[in-house]
Chain A
Amino acid sequence: MTITKTHRDVLGASALRPDGVAKVQGDFSFSSDLHAENMLWGATLRSPHPYARIISIDLSGAWKIAGVECVITADDVPGQLTYGLISEDQPVFAKDVVRYMGEPIAAVAADHPETCRRALAAIKVEYEILEPLTDPERAIDGSHPDIHPDGNIIRHQRIVSGDITATAPIVVEGTYDIGMQDQAFLGTESALALPDHDGSGIEVFVATQWLHEDRKQMAKCLGLPEEKVRLVLGGVGGAFGAREDISLQVHTALLALRTGRPVKMQYGREESFFGHVHRHPAQIWMRHHATEDGRIVKIEARMVFDGGAYSSTSSAVLINGVTHTQGPYQCPNAVVDGYATRTNNPPCGAMRGFGVVQACFAHEGQMDKLAVATGIDEVEIRLRNIIHTGDTMITGQVLESVAPVERCIRETAALPLPAEMSSHPHELDLPGGSGRTADRRHIVRGIGWGVSMKNLMYSEGFDDYSTARCTLTNGKVELKFATSEVGQGFVTLAPQIARSILGVDDVTYDTIDTQIGSAGSTSASRQTWMSGGAVDGACRLVRERLFEHVGALHGVDPLRLGIDDTDIIDTIGDFRISVQEACADLSISETFEYHHRPTEDLDENGQGNCHVAFAFVAHRAVVDVDIELGLVKVVQIATAQDVGRVLNPMSVVGQIEGGIAQGLGLAVMEEIIVKDGKVRNPSFTDYLLPTALDAPQVLISMIEEPDPQAPMGAKGVGEAPCISVTPAIVAAIRNAIGKPIDRCPVRPQDICF
């Protein structure tokens, strides 16, 4: 047998995004570009108060405005009045009480967005303002009356493992605060709903992370059977967790069903800040006990994640937080107490890193404190404690994933440090950038480290399977899946998989919609593994049938057949035929459902095999700090990431660079500022995202140790880049300024005072 070298866009190649050119040239149709004949516009009335009783709602003013076709409130919801990803505790429209600033109260449909705006202004809501619960500690201590029938604690979870009386000579502790970050996707929420002619069902085009979950929740609230609600993915302009929850889906559909006309809804930037959940702000206390040579003996921790008004995914975020207390380190004994609280602050839920970001900020701060207390270098202290495959974690679960933590650290350390700052640096390279605030002599350089471990896929008994269909017709492949493409590149990867397995170049994919089984959510670093596994499985089934056909026709045992580039070959003989020739006039279609291995709930002591798999990463940050003004320029991030196997190098680089930018944002600028339950900066003027001038040089080493549990050996790469980069940057700032900082984002005043 001879193997042919190929330059096709198969697995391992940097295949280009099929939508790349259109996106760069502005031709790509995002969900906000959707349009239908005879379309109405929808808009939402929201509460200006974080906590208030609704005394009355007077809609008459809105109905009187010419062009207004429909005004709806909670009274118009035909099905279930509440929805939610884990617990259905969030009203479609607030009825008697509003629990956060921005909570929807009514929606209108009208001929023009401006008519909608006037209609909203004409709705009179009388409120009795209540004292908001804004301090999560008061949710825990019970000193504030319940703000929701389900109580003020969304979840409490302890972990007790090993000998909790164990002590050790070195003890370090700290309290860490993590600010509320926003996903800040650029394409705001939008949807277009088209009612069926007879009003019995609806088709909704929407930018979402999980079509089937949206459909499930929408059908319940609309009082329709699921098959009467058909969802199609609208072009998604970023997600990062913010499109896991329902936002405008039910409202848009309801307006369309009521009016019998297509309705489009689209949030503006300010509304978007109120329309989706954010990353949980958290306060985490940790105390590490270690031997004099720096080995962790016990970790005590208390974590408070503020979930805001509704539960969203808070309970799962909390579980990720507490189960990642130890980070990528061994820990024989642990006592962890975690709370997800309910307050009148903005609801929080999924965001890239999902609870692990917060835990990691704390455990990495602790590792640095341990380094200082033991006099051991910050890299060495981490190496001494690293976790290995086969180790038991604080949940009692044995780590089965490939765990190249040592390589992550050593390969990061081996990446070159940036050159020292020249004596006459370019002014834009200094902290303060275009503001020209500093001169060379005001700048001090610092280096910091962060290492993390992140679970992949959903946890705690959840079977988040994925479905895909592969159809081979006349030498062409068409794939079908409901996997949301949010920019991560599954639409690039899926055809690569088919090309590799089937030896066919012409691979397309059908519309992404609910006309096939669920793909699960595009989150939790899971789609390469899960939907990749489903496409891989479906293509393999098709290949099996193709080999049976070819084997029978040419008298070769199908088990001996294999694919070499674009040919089918006898792997132990001379037979060879091109795939194109072999499948002329043939049509084979197979559907495959990929399930990950089952997991378990945690018990009351936090014990259980709750996670599927893990990925690891190390980050080294180099920063320049203007200590007197408290301004920072991140100069370089070096990272070695455990990716299992690289399926598309360019995609992996994109995820790593993007994740680093997002983690940098949390480290030095991104924060939703909430005061008395009110968001103070719902705009891109004041919610600052890193610009090109804030982005560092990024050096990447991809560690390829294929994971035998992963369908193609590849681990998810989406979340790992944004987790330990934040503590690494903050550690570098601490290193530069020589004083403790235990909060992020780091503000100028945290540095200079």
Chain B
Amino acid sequence: MPVFIPSSLSEATSLLAEHPTAHLITGGTDFMVEVNFNHRHPETVISLRKIPDMQLWNIDKASGVVFIGASVPYATMEQGELADALPALAEAARTVGSPQIRAAGSIGGNLGTCSPAGDSLPVLAALNASVHLRSSDAERTLPFSEFMIGPKRNAKKPDEVITGVSIPMTNGWQGYAKVGVRNAMVISVASVCLAIHDKTVRVALGSVGPTIIRCSDAESWINSQDITAIDDSVAVEFGNRVSQESRPIDDHRSTAEYRRHAVGVLATRLLQRGTNA
């Protein structure tokens, strides 16, 4: 099985054009599990790990936008400048797997897999991030909401590589919380990202629907309140409204009823954290 290790983005995209059935790999933390379980049978593999452009990140204070290359691992987002710029992403990154997984797993891989339980995804949704895609002859950028189109399904075309994400910073509080049935290294049963920008609340949910859910009704309700003075009953009502927008299922990890309940509780608590901060 040939494995190509291109050292530039253009090399990678032309390899992909030459080998249209090739599989892309970055950290391999989803990819290799699928190979081991025989759910994936790659014949050609293109590794994106050695492409300098995809490992870059930068914080553009002037425009207020953070760019994160697709190959940047969680370990880089957990702390330091990126964490200061995007605290919710840092909190999400810290919940991912174990230190080993966070050293290898990347944001590009999380987007490539596009699981509703992917921990970076509610953050990208709440922060209105956009995803950059590139093929050998074209480049395009999609808002996250158009990128994720279903459980483990995204709008990336077969000849495209995810090159990175652009994430506008917020001028208000942002945070992430995730329920799992153990205190670390666990797949999300329900998760919520809440961000406040220009005194406007945005909220996105993970693991409670086929895609990440932005709660537009709950958002417009809360944004019609005075969010500088959130009392408990408003926070609880907000949580209830968030719950109602979730579309969870029963599976072996949890029940729909619990998930619906949990996102409501998390939304209430995050709103309280965000507005009391």
Contact = CB atoms under 8 A, between A and B. Distances in A.
B95 A434 contact: yes
Interface string A539-554: 0000000000000000
Which of A669, A681, A748 is the most central at the interface, judged by chain B CB atoms within 10 Å of its CB?
A: A748
A437 B184 contact: no
A514 B240 CA distance: 66
For chain B, give the interface size range: 35 or more
B266 interface: yes
B187 interface: yes
A126 interface: no
A56 interface: no
B183 A433 contact: yes
B94 interface: yes
Nearest to A437: B177
Given A117-B38, A436-B176, A680-B252, A748 B181 contact: yes
Contacts of A680: 252
Contacts of B37: 270
B254 A431 contact: no
A749 B255 contact: yes
B273 A439 contact: yes
B182 interface: yes
Interface stretch (B105-113, B145-153, B210-218, B256-264): B256-264
A686 interface: yes
A4 interface: no
A623 to B, nearest CB: 12
A688 B187 CA distance: 10
B261 A752 contact: yes
Contact of B257 (A117, A628, A753): A753
A584 B131 CA distance: 80
B184 A691 contact: yes
Interface in B150-190: 175-189
B94 A434 contact: yes
Given A437-B269, A438-B269, A681-B252, A693 B258 contact: no
A631 B179 contact: yes
Interface string B31-66: 000001110000000000000000000000000000
Contacts, number: 93
A450 interface: no
A149 interface: no
Contacts of A686: 187, 252-253
Given A432-B183, A688-B182, A752 B258 contact: yes
A40 B187 CA distance: 37
B222 interface: no
Contact of B184 (A438, A629, A675, A693): A693
A633 interface: yes
Given A688-B186, A752-B258, A669 B252 contact: no
Interface string A648-691: 00000000000000000000110001010000110001101011
A629 B187 contact: no
Which of A442, A628, A690 is the most central at the interface, judged by chain B CB atoms within 10 Å of its CB?
A: A628
A432 B181 contact: no
B265 A749 contact: no
A373 interface: no
A629 B265 CA distance: 7
B173 to A, nearest CB: 14
A180 to B, nearest CB: 13
B183 A629 contact: no
Given A434-B94, A434-B95, A748-B258, A669 B265 contact: no
B183 A694 contact: yes
Contacts of A631: 179, 181
A752 B186 CA distance: 20
A148 interface: no
A747 interface: yes
Nearest to A683: B37
B249 to A, nearest CB: 14
B245 interface: no
B252 A673 contact: yes
Interface string A407-435: 00000000000000000000010011111
Nearest to B180: A435
B260 to A, nearest CB: 11
Given A431-B183, A439-B273, A629 B252 contact: no
Contacts of B191: 435
Contact of A432 (B179, B258, B261, B273): B179
Given A432-B183, A433-B183, A688-B182, A749 B252 contact: no
Nearest to B192: A437
Contacts of B261: 752-753
Contacts of A694: 182-184
A747 B181 contact: yes
A691 B269 contact: no
Nearest to A673: B252
Given A434-B94, A629-B262, A752-B261, A439 B269 contact: yes
A661 B175 CA distance: 32
Given A629-B265, A680-B252, A691 B185 contact: yes
A270 B37 CA distance: 9
A684 to B, nearest CB: 10
A433 B179 contact: no
Sorted from nearest, which 5 A-B pairs have the closest CB atoms?
A433-B183, A680-B252, A435-B178, A693-B184, A693-B183
12 contacts: A268-B36, A432-B177, A435-B188, A435-B191, A442-B269, A686-B187, A690-B182, A691-B182, A748-B262, A749-B254, A749-B258, A753-B261
Given A432-B183, A433-B182, A686-B253, 10 more contacts: A434-B95, A435-B183, A437-B266, A629-B265, A629-B266, A631-B181, A673-B252, A691-B184, A694-B184, A749-B254
